[in-house]
């Protein structure tokens, strides 16, 4: 999961009117697509569709944020048809992370659709994101569309039923463990022996012993699981050892009774000796023998009591076997035969606090696991994990528990005293494993979390923080990463900041627009201005765009913020026009805004509904955005240019520009990045001047105006003027001004 997708919020006023009801009368499929034409074709392709006697109901969303709202209100969605590129290039992929990691919905079937395969290459996307199918739009015929939706609805239905059953199993297991304190064979059998002794009044002379057998070895090898009276010393011995302490005649009587009981599967009563037979063979291939020695031969009443009591004992053994079987289903990974995530969470939750603080969690994740699974199959990756598990047993023998928490990830528990060294963990990084006689080299990423550092967090949060540490380490390229408090602080701060940003958008008075004048560097006269956003959180705290815009982009809020800025700029420009002070004003928009039909429609509507002249409007887009999204951006920029709006390329010189592409964009303004202007103050750095001259010549050849950003002193101004620069922007001329201050300056 990338950092940008840790949190996502739906629109507070969603445009789609859908109810919250959970219906089982139809299948719910969600189409997330910002192309109205393709959205319509999907509707037509799925019209009147029926799967397993239930109709398909299609919900639609035109953006990732709108889709997040629908998903939150419809927990029984079965399939999502998801476009990759919407309000931003990877909006679809960010929504996948939100669904899987933030909402925690592992069952929803995600079918990724793309019209631009280069934006999300198939193998990379299947490896890095938890999606179920990937289709190029041009390959998805109506017949194939209906086939894909049908298959995924059926798969979702089966997985949903399985998940419900598994949740039921966990509830049963946990409830059973709560209701009875005798939740294991030794505890249960010891209670049985005590009750039998009470029923038949076994005095000091005599005793009872219980053994269990898996049926694969002779019964003499059966182990003693509980004992009392004179057999107390044989606890943990075998049946043969217990029999060897008896006299020869007693051995004969007991052995004959045992043989008959195991043969007939019935209780046997023979004078002083009784052998009670209990079978759980249908559940776990085991049977139990309770051997009773009484000082007096048992009478009919005692036998009758034991027979009745044995019915309850038999049910108890079966319940124990069933409980163990259910526990294994709910808490164990079948392919590796080790505990799973449920078990680990329960273990961390039930561990006493003092022991928990002394515990270290180590996560080991296999790199490129899902790519390997796609190329070589599930059977191969299962064997791969089994082989890796055996290697870990050898390399990290001091762990006291190991669990599989994801298909590609293992978790190990250590006490602090025996915690692994970094060198030992680094040995796990590169593994050469023999899998099905094939030598396979794989890398792992390792994360270490000392639970004492997060003693206030619950078990689920602990596991999530360990996974976040693993993800952060992988992003940094660390083979072994260690949790520290800064990670939790960063996550908490990010969450609080995002919540506050939502509040700020709802109450725009917190978002202030300032204006940085653009000045004639010879006269100092203001010839234009750039709109800059500041977030005034409170009377003492003002945040710059770099502090919150990346978070807004990740959560799909940037278009809302850009619209607020644009709307403010148009209102202020109208006021200037009425005062006879009109100047060109520029404002920044993202490539996500350019590709958002709603945003572009709002821009055109403002042009039509205000007195602002299009030639006084400059739209700024960064060089990297213009070049990376050229095929998407170029036609929209040409459309804006046709309306008379000037296009400004911001931070020019910091990105990679194709001259062929750049010459076709028709940009009217180039803004020289301030990093080059700053270098002019360093006499030993001569690399900036050639770039400055090159940008000026390029602007001249393209009939564009060049603006120098970040001009702070007269020395910089002089060099720029000597090299043909006419317009500058920076603290030498003016700091960012409020609208009233700008108006006063212009007057």
Using CB atoms within 10 Å of the CB of residue 109, give its burial: 0 to 12 exposed, 13 to 18 middle, 19+ buried: buried
> What's 594-657 look like in SS3?
HCCHHHHHHHHHHHHHCCCCHHHEEEEEEHHHHHHCHHHHHHHHHHHHHCCCEEEEEEECCCCC
Phi/psi of residue 653, nearest 5 degrees: 105, -15
Below-70 pLDDT ranges, the chain: 1-24, 116-120, 162, 164-190, 192, 198-205, 301-302, 305-306, 308-317, 323, 326-327, 455-460, 487-491, 623-631, 651, 653-666
- What is the reported pLDDT for 168? 43
pLDDT of residue 100: 79
Partners of 112 in beta bridges: 82, 134
pTM, full prediction? 0.47
Q: In what order do the strands lie in the sheet with 268-270?
A: 223-229, 207-213, 287-293, 273-279, 268-270
Candidates 738, 733, 672; CA nearest to 532 is 738
CA pair distance 290, 278, nearest whole angstrom: 8
Taking only Cα atoms into account, the Rg of the chain, rounded to an integer number of angstroms, comes to 36
Each residue of 290-323: b (16+ CB within 10 Å) or e? Answer: bbbbbeeebeeebeeebeebbeebbebbbbbbbb
pLDDT in tens, 437-480: 778 888 889 999 888 887 666 666 888 888 888 888 888 888 88
pLDDT at residue number 458: 65
Q: Which domains does the chain have, with CATH numbers?
A: 3-175 (3.40.50.2300), 185-331 (3.30.450), 355-483 (3.30.70.270), 515-746 (3.20.20.450)
DSSP for 211-279, written as a single string: EEE-SSS-GGGPEEEEEEETTGGGTTSBHHHHHHTS-HHHHHHHHHHHHHHHHHTS-EEETTEEEEEEE
Which tokens in the block code for residue 430?
Answer: 């590169």
- Could you tell me whether strands 480-482 and 438-450 are parallel, antiparallel, or unpaired per DSSP bridges? parallel
Residue 154: count of CB within 10 angstroms of its CB: 15
Q: Is 215 in contact with 281 (CB distance < 8 Å)? A: yes
226, two tokens: 């509980």
How high is the pLDDT of residue 314? 66
Helix H or strand E segment including 108 = none
Question: What is the DSSP secondary-structure string of 63-104?
Answer: SHHHHHHHHHH-TTEEEEEEES-SSSTTHHHHHHHIIIIIS-
Q: Are 620 and 586 in contact (CB under 8 A)?
A: yes
Look up tokens 């030639």; give the residue.
615
Rounded Cα distance between 445 and 447, Å, is 7
At which residue do the structure tokens 């036609």 appear?
Answer: 635
Q: What digits encode the pLDDT tens for the residues 670-697?
A: 888 888 899 888 877 777 888 889 888 8
């Amino acid at each position: 999961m990338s950092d940008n997708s840790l949190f996502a919020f739906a629109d507070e006023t969603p445009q789609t009117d859908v109810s919250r009801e959970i219906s089982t009368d139809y299948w719910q499929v969600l189409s997330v697509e910002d192309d109205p034409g393709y959205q319509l074709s999907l509707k037509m392709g799925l019209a009147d569709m029926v799967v397993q006697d239930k109709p398909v109901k299609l919900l639609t969303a035109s953006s990732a944020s709108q889709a997040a709202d629908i998903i939150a209100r419809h927990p029984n969605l079965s399939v999502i048809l998801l476009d990759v590129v919407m309000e931003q290039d990877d909006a679809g992929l960010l929504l996948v992370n939100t669904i899987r990691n933030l909402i925690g919905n592992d069952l929803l079937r995600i079918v990724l659709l793309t019209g631009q395969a280069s934006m999300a290459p198939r193998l990379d996307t299947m490896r890095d994101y938890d999606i179920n199918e990937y289709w190029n739009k041009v390959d998805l015929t109506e017949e194939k569309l209906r086939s894909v939706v049908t298959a995924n609805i059926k798969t979702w239905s089966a997985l949903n039923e399985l998940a419900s059953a598994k949740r039921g199993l966990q509830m049963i297991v946990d409830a059973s463990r709560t209701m009875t304190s005798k939740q294991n064979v030794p505890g249960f059998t010891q209670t049985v022996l005590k009750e039998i002794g009470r029923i038949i009044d076994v005095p000091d002379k005599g005793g009872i012993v219980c053994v269990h057998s898996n049926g694969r070895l002779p019964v003499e090898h059966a182990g003693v699981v509980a004992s009392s009276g004179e057999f107390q010393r044989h606890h943990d011995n075998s049946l043969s050892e217990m029999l060897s302490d008896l006299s020869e005649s007693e051995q004969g009587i007991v052995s004959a009774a045992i043989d008959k009981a195991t043969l007939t599967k019935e209780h046997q009563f023979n004078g002083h000796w009784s052998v009670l037979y209990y079978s759980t063979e249908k559940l776990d291939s085991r049977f139990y023998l309770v051997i009773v020695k009484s000082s007096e031969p048992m009478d009919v009443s005692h036998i009758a009591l034991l027979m009745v009591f044995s019915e309850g004992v038999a049910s108890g053994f079966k319940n124990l076997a069933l409980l163990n079987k259910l526990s294994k289903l709910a808490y164990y990974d079948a392919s590796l035969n080790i505990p799973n995530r449920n078990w680990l969470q329960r273990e961390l939750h039930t561990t006493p606090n003092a022991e928990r603080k002394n515990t270290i969690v180590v996560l080991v994740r296999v790199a490129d696991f899902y790519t390997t699974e796609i190329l070589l199959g599930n059977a191969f990756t299962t064997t791969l994990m089994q082989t890796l598990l055996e290697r870990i047993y050898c390399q990290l023998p001091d762990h006291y528990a190991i669990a599989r928490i994801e298909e590609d990830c293992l978790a190990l528990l250590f006490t602090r005293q025996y915690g692994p060294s970094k060198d030992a963990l680094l040995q796990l990084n590169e593994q050469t494993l023999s899998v099905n006689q094939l030598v396979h080299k794989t890398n792992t990423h390792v994360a270490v979390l000392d639970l004492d550092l997060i003693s206030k967090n619950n078990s689920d949060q602990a596991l999530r923080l360990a996974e976040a540490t693993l993800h952060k380490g992988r992003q940094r390229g660390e083979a072994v990463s260690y949790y520290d408090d800064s990670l939790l602080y960063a996550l908490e701060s990010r969450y609080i900041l995002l919540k506050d940003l939502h509040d700020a958008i709802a109450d725009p008075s917190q978002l202030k627009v300032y204006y940085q004048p653009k000045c004639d560097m010879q006269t100092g006269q203001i010839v234009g201005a750039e709109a800059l956003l500041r977030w005034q959180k409170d009377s003492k705290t003002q945040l710059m765009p770099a502090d919150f815009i990346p978070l807004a982009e990740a959560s799909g809020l940037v278009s809302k913020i850009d619209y607020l800025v644009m709307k403010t700029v148009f209102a202020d420009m109208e006021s200037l026009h009425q005062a006879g002070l009109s100047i060109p004003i520029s404002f920044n928009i993202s490539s996500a805004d350019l590709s958002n039909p709603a945003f572009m429609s709002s821009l055109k509507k403002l042009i039509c509904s205000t007195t602002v002249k299009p030639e006084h409007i400059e739209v700024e887009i960064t060089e990297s955005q213009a070049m990376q999204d050229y095929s998407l951006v170029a036609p929209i920029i040409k459309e804006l240019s046709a309306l008379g709006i000037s296009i400004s390329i911001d931070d020019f010189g910091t990105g990679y520009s194709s001259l062929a592409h750049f010459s076709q964009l028709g940009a009217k303004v180039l803004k020289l990045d301030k990093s080059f202007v700053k270098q002019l103050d360093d006499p030993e750095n001569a690399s900036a001047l050639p770039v400055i001259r090159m940008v000026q010549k390029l602007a001249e050849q393209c009939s564009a105006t060049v603006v120098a950003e970040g001009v702070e002193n007269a020395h910089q101004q002089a060099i720029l003027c000597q090299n043909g620069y006419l317009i500058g922007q920076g603290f030498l001329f003016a700091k960012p001004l409020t609208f009233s201050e700008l108006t006063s300056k212009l007057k």
